Chains A and B, each alone.
Chain A
């Protein structure tokens, strides 16, 4: 029988729990730990944090914990780490990890750094069409902060071939973090589309962490998760044909079932027969899931040739969102909240009429904040929370919206309390396609 490869998830987003990653390395008997630390917004935030001279702060904010705690344990257990935690500055992330490894006297650590996903220069020179608007990038209102292409498994496989034990990059596509070690260990070719598709299914099921193991699932009395106290990231035992058995760490809470895996399989998917990644056009449509001894068996993943172009994200500075809020409670709370909405719209009328706001809304939490006009109203709530929000290019305009929501507590209807306000910058993400020839990835080994 061909050997099985055990791969564990170590992170699903930029602020995910390091304790769960540590436990996976400690008890998972895994060969690889894969960590996704980027979402559409996270990368642009990392670009914003970047100090042009030092590159400081432009990688995952958990780096001290990753380098100081996770790396030593992984080195001790012989677990290789693959992560896109380099964010906007993979080189600085690699340097940090190598320095920490040296400082802690870790044996056998070799840091691989993957660069090349930054396509800011390409976007500036070639001005691609933006999918959301159908117009050129230069016609977007607002300055380009950054542009990154989603890159795939290929440079990771190269880094593994060069002997790297810790690999960091920037905008590596989430499932590619998992596809790469599977390809490397089983010696597949990078145009074996069926197997790459199957590995992408495994990566997709693992990449969202606890989403596969009982998080965001409980809906009593229909869906019960007995305890959330001690959750586990998922891990997979992968076969050389790309099929796998998913499991979680023994003795943990949460839930791993066919239904939890179904929910994760469909998460953020459009056409199941054509899920585009940098590596393959994956086919999730014929995947089947079955409860077996020790976990959930995943089979039937397939694929067709990879897309000709890579997906790119363009980050645009679109100003600020201002948000002000206040709450009402008791008899007549809904009526007073509705009156508050009317009052605040009156105060902001001159601003709204001036066109200085790109968007504006008032929500009544407890009534219509999440589902708007589609909300099913059942009786009158005891508490209603008024939320006033606006987006504007000018910080002062956004701040005025926040202030108006805040002011409702003093100058509005009776009994408003608990007011709060916030103004935050907006980095909007737009999508384009980047030719593969414009994206040159490189692999460097940083000596520890």
Chain B
């Protein structure tokens, strides 16, 4: 089975210098633990590898049940000097939500059971 992250989650991206962060929350908070298991750093690196030069770290917001991916060397030098059309990297939230996640039928996100 497969889903596109956008079907179950929302995200926003921001910048500090040459670092881009994308925070991700599930629409249904019951899906958070599933997201933690499936949206791994490896999968995010595969989606972003052509755009991000530095390491990617993953943090958790346990209180609001969100994940936060912090990507260094992500903006070709940061907003003040980058040649990127989107020098802030704001559109990267949509790149995150385009990630396809595969799972076993027995391991569907809880929200899909209704």
By a CB distance below 8 angstroms, the chain A residues around B80 are 40-41, 44, 315, 426-429
By a CB distance below 8 angstroms, the chain B residues around A427 are 80
Contact in complex: B59, A271 (CB < 8 Å) = yes
The chain A residue sitting closest to B65, CB to CB, is A262
Contacts A40-B78, A387-B85 given; indicate if A272 touches B61 (C-beta within 8 A): yes
Contact in complex: B63, A287 (CB < 8 Å) = yes
Per-position 1/0 for B14-53, Cβ under 8 A of A = 1111110101010100000000000000000001111100
CB distance from A302 to the nearest CB of B (A): 10
Report Cα–Cα, A111/B91, bound state, in Å: 40
Q: Does A229 sit within 8 A of B, measured CB to CB?
A: no
By a CB distance below 8 angstroms, the chain B residues around A51 are none
Q: Does A342 sit within 8 A of B, measured CB to CB?
A: no
Q: Does A270 sit within 8 A of B, measured CB to CB?
A: yes
Q: Does A286 sit within 8 A of B, measured CB to CB?
A: yes
Contacts A259-B25, A370-B91, A429-B17 given; indicate if A270 touches B59 (C-beta within 8 A): yes
By a CB distance below 8 angstroms, the chain B residues around A287 are 61, 63-64
* A22-81 contacts to B (CB < 8 Å): 39-41, 44
Contact in complex: B83, A266 (CB < 8 Å) = no
Number of A residues near B (Cβ < 8 Å) is: 55
Per-position 1/0 for A417-429, Cβ under 8 A of B = 0000000001111
Number of B residues near A (Cβ < 8 Å) is: 46
Contact in complex: B21, A391 (CB < 8 Å) = no
Partner of B83, one of A44, A216, A262, A391: A391
* B78-102 contacts to A (CB < 8 Å): 78-81, 83-86, 90-92, 95, 97-98
Partner of B98, one of A266, A269, A272, A376: A376
Report Cα–Cα, A389/B79, bound state, in Å: 15
Contact in complex: B51, A374 (CB < 8 Å) = yes
CB distance from B28 to the nearest CB of A (A): 11
Report Cα–Cα, A41/B70, bound state, in Å: 21
Partner of B23, one of A266, A372, A428: A266
Partner of B95, one of A288, A374, A387: A374
Report Cα–Cα, A288/B65, bound state, in Å: 9
By a CB distance below 8 angstroms, the chain B residues around A305 are none
Report the stretch among A231-239, A242-250, A359-367 that lies at the interface.
A359-367
Per-position 1/0 for A344-386, Cβ under 8 A of B = 0000000000000001110101000111111010000000000
The chain B residue sitting closest to A258, CB to CB, is B64
Contact in complex: B85, A363 (CB < 8 Å) = yes
Partner of A272, one of B6, B16, B59, B77: B59
Q: Report 23 cross-chain contacts, Cβ distance below 8 Å, ordered by A residue.
A: A44-B80, A219-B97, A222-B7, A262-B23, A263-B10, A263-B12, A263-B23, A266-B12, A266-B64, A269-B23, A270-B21, A270-B68, A286-B62, A286-B63, A288-B63, A361-B84, A370-B91, A371-B51, A372-B51, A391-B83, A426-B81, A429-B80, A429-B81
Complex A-B, nearest 8 residue pairs according to Cβ-Cβ distance, in ascending order = A266-B23, A373-B50, A268-B14, A428-B81, A263-B12, A286-B63, A429-B80, A370-B91
Residues of B within 8 A of A (CB): 6-7, 10-12, 14-19, 21, 23, 25, 27, 47-51, 57, 59-64, 66, 68, 70, 76-81, 83-86, 90-92, 95, 97-98
